[in-house]
Structure 1
């Protein structure tokens, strides 16, 4: 036998493509090479495989070995092809029967001692294998729980190359298969979510947060240090409904590519991502040298991205958020490829009123010059803020609020949010939308969804005077529909529309 075949998966972005791994032996001086656009770590697979085979007492062909990863035009990144290459070479050398592995997908990195080590991106790789019709996938033990999330695929966990070869030899001879290594149990549930009842006072902010959660609206908060902006933002995920199974797999796949899966493997709660204000463009939007990786906007997919101290972020980083806020995806372009990542998230911005943070009320404690105050808030561009539905000005908590009754818990508020979300999903099902924030303005301003002129007269006047752009007009309509859903009304009335306009204009950034 001089030709061995098996399969693996190349992951680009968060999508996988099944790769045919072919190994051929021919006469000549011993040599081991890999072709098919491998990156540096993939090119180094022969060194790892030689050492692993030697330490597992497996014999590789003492000939010229060439391995091709097909399609050759698809870039191959990482060390996850090690096991597949080793199996293909062992088939070419006659150690493994070809029929046993031709349609099996192999994933995993080899250690020099023959151990099969965990890799990133196993979940999207197994999803791609299942979509391609593969029925069996070999994965490292550490990735077995992640791979088992994909239905319809038999997952074979392995911890050592010698164990895998022994399995195939037993199958060839009809002997009982050795017991697979035990997969460590993962805890269920996730980390505790902060509760809204911990927020003291700030009734307007609590209500604005409920509206944002119910309709999937973006939120901007301006207020002095200690007013509770961060506390409010951290409690938004606790008000959102759990992810559906399909959404959970999508979110988990992103974290799998990044190697950032939590202990419970399947992410069932909306994620909360809060990058530091010193984060670079690739860290926030995605990219990087070599392999393109998801950024914070993709890690926050189906969840919340919180930018604390927003004016401290670089201006170009903030402006790069405008496109994913509109489209729900981000495109990272390179000379040889364009990688698309999902990025449908709720944006929460928090900013102090000035660099010293004391420019509120009469501003008597503020030490900033007027020009410095203007320059500080102008770092958040108008086009970015125009895409934010709710603008809120927060003041410090008073002593009276501190002595007042405790507010509602996240569980109580989330019940109302879920009812409002259910109403929205039923209303917009015919146009393929689930939340008010996703409905195009052209639909809200036409046909049976158009509100009467007497209901929108405040918005119409604001648009005539230039206080609202057309985008702002549409976003006020979306918020008005959300308020009416929370109120249990069939359609927004004048009060709800004006309340939506007030929520948009109550912040300094409006």
Structure 2
């Protein structure tokens, strides 16, 4: 007898329907075809042990399992439950009248308990799209899958529960989550707040500008000046995620297995902070079994690279294309996978190896040329993609001990949202562009027009401060954002003057 069950394979951040066909006939062999990897092939032993635990048997006949379509590679252990139920029906040990109405996924332990699997959210979305009645999966994954409405999410803890449910002997209520209610109730929950930061008003201002225009930032300052503390608070002033952005972000974390048990929708912008020993594959994504990297996990959020010059040169260079194209393409001989990577890059670094170059109190002990050599570890093309260069100075004792209340993230976020609204109107005819940082060069000339006084100021600044040519577009983009925050239609001289301050590393002779 031939039985059909349905599972799913994840490719990139989307899922594809997989049909598992099981045929039990004359003979004694066990065959699994359809490009299964080792983990899928090993399901035979897990399935056999789980069936015996609950009093069923593995057929001592010829068993052929086909995973269709046969040209897609099947990976992982999440097909165990699907295969087990297919074998039971094909060997006529049970009757499952509604088996083909459900997508089924789950890894079996030897005693028949179900372990959670990756990529549940995109699978649930695909199941609804294909018109299935429901999705049977491990109970620990049910909360995540229940984000998808109009689909019965049946969470089970054991193989026996799944069998009894499909036979109609056990009633399991589908898990239901009010996605919109969950989303809007989680929007304002931030772990860090700018209210905790004493002093550093100029850095807070730079962060506000970066958040309003989607600009990348690099902070240069001595150890203990507060660079990491400020970076961690940036997500709290970014505009809240839209529901669509939240679903996109959750899908990526689901595929990577980063959501955790009983997790659901990600409602806050992600903040990822990889260590400087990270490899280029771990940062950009890929591997033998392609997985999203850190830059995709920070999609719609912030990627923070602390101690930027300590990262390997090859690691930093792989970011250049994603920073421009806002996506990562992983290519293999037979498949090409796209991962979204629309993130804000926030980097921090010491000004020199000892950390005290340009320090107001402590003396730098680095020898001649050491500072410049240290700064040269960060390539020009990468710096070209960073709009704001901010010098961070140590907080004075009087500011640290001050009891004066500082501005909260909520107050700053309101101004940022107002600035973004002006940009949404400006780029309404260009749906792929929604903030000033994403403007291509030809659009900068149209959008960032300056008067004669502004041109004179910019010319003088470039000549006297020795600013490089690549600073020109960046200054105009940042000044446009500053004007948006000031609710100004035109870029004024004062907006340009402030933007010019944020090009420290472009100044000739900055490092002596």
- In structure 2, the residue matched to 1:51 is 49
- In structure 2, the residue matched to 1:178 is 171
Q: Is the contact made by 2:215 and 2:386 (CA closer than 8 Å) also made in structure 1? A: yes
CA offset at residue 192 of structure 1?
Answer: 4.3
- In structure 2, the residue matched to 1:7 is 6
Where 2:363 maps in the other structure, the secondary structure is coil
- In structure 2, the residue matched to 1:437 is 437
- In structure 2, the residue matched to 1:409 is 408
- In structure 2, the residue matched to 1:248 is 246
Aligned residue runs from structure 1 range 155-166, under 5 A: 155-166=153-164
CA offset at residue 127 of structure 1?
Answer: 1.6
Where 2:92 maps in the other structure, the secondary structure is coil
- In structure 1, the residue matched to 2:24 is 25
1:341-372 CA-to-partner distances (Å, cap 9, x unmatched) read 11111101100011110111478621111232
CA offset at residue 180 of structure 1?
Answer: 5.1
Where 1:429 maps in the other structure, the secondary structure is coil
- In structure 2, the residue matched to 1:223 is 221
Cα gap change, 1:161 to 1:151, in 2 (>3 Å)? same
Q: Which of 57, 62, 75 is residue 64 of structure 1 equivalent to?
A: 62
Q: Which segment is superposed worse, 70-79 or 193-202?
A: 193-202
Q: Find out whether 1:327 has 2:320 as its counterpart.
A: no
Q: Is the contact made by 2:36 and 2:73 (CA closer than 8 Å) also made in structure 1? A: yes
Cα gap change, 1:206 to 1:461, in 2 (>3 Å)? same
CA offset at residue 506 of structure 1?
Answer: 6.9
- In structure 2, the residue matched to 1:370 is 368
CA offset at residue 200 of structure 1?
Answer: 2.0
Where 1:102 maps in the other structure, the secondary structure is helix
- In structure 1, the residue matched to 2:301 is 303
CA offset at residue 497 of structure 1?
Answer: 2.4
CA offset at residue 427 of structure 1?
Answer: 2.3
Q: Is the contact made by 1:144 and 1:183 (CA closer than 8 Å) also made in structure 2? A: no
Cα gap change, 1:256 to 1:116, in 2 (>3 Å)? same
Unaligned 5+ segments in structure 2 are: none
Q: Which segment is superposed worse, 359-368 or 20-29?
A: 359-368
CA offset at residue 183 of structure 1?
Answer: 9.7
Q: Find out whether 1:339 has 2:332 as its counterpart.
A: no
- In structure 1, the residue matched to 2:201 is 203
- In structure 1, the residue matched to 2:426 is 427
Q: Find out whether 1:280 has 2:279 as its counterpart.
A: yes
- In structure 2, the residue matched to 1:239 is 237
Cα gap change, 1:218 to 1:184, in 2 (>3 Å)? closer
- In structure 2, the residue matched to 1:494 is 493
Unaligned 5+ segments in structure 1 are: 171-175
Cα gap change, 1:182 to 1:214, in 2 (>3 Å)? closer
Q: Is the contact made by 1:222 and 1:508 (CA closer than 8 Å) also made in structure 2? A: no
Q: Which segment is superposed worse, 376-385 or 95-104?
A: 95-104
- In structure 2, the residue matched to 1:467 is 467
Q: Is the contact made by 2:210 and 2:388 (CA closer than 8 Å) also made in structure 1? A: yes
Q: Which of 68, 83, 86 is residue 84 of structure 2 equivalent to?
A: 86
Q: Is the contact made by 2:152 and 2:174 (CA closer than 8 Å) also made in structure 1? A: no
Cα gap change, 1:469 to 1:449, in 2 (>3 Å)? closer
Counterpart-to-counterpart distance in 1, 2:48 and 2:212:
57
CA offset at residue 193 of structure 1?
Answer: 2.0
- In structure 1, the residue matched to 2:125 is 127
CA offset at residue 166 of structure 1?
Answer: 1.7
Q: Is the contact made by 2:143 and 2:175 (CA closer than 8 Å) also made in structure 1? A: no
Q: Is the contact made by 1:392 and 1:508 (CA closer than 8 Å) also made in structure 2? A: no
TM-score (norm 2): 0.91
1:2-49 CA-to-partner distances (Å, cap 9, x unmatched) read 1111111101232211111111122111x3232111111111111111
CA offset at residue 474 of structure 1?
Answer: 2.8
Q: Is the contact made by 2:34 and 2:71 (CA closer than 8 Å) also made in structure 1? A: yes
Counterpart-to-counterpart distance in 1, 2:211 and 2:481:
10
1:375-400 CA-to-partner distances (Å, cap 9, x unmatched) read 21111111101100100111111234
Counterpart-to-counterpart distance in 1, 2:264 and 2:507:
41
Cα gap change, 1:63 to 1:264, in 2 (>3 Å)? closer
Across the aligned residues of Structure 1 and Structure 2, the Cα RMSD in angstroms comes to 2.6
Cα gap change, 1:483 to 1:184, in 2 (>3 Å)? closer
Where 1:431 maps in the other structure, the secondary structure is coil
Q: Which of 149, 152, 165 is residue 151 of structure 1 equivalent to?
A: 149
CA offset at residue 452 of structure 1?
Answer: 4.4
Cα gap change, 1:457 to 1:154, in 2 (>3 Å)? farther
CA offset at residue 402 of structure 1?
Answer: 3.1
Q: Is the contact made by 1:141 and 1:183 (CA closer than 8 Å) also made in structure 2? A: no
Counterpart-to-counterpart distance in 1, 2:174 and 2:133:
20
Q: Is the contact made by 1:255 and 1:299 (CA closer than 8 Å) also made in structure 2? A: yes
- In structure 2, the residue matched to 1:105 is 103
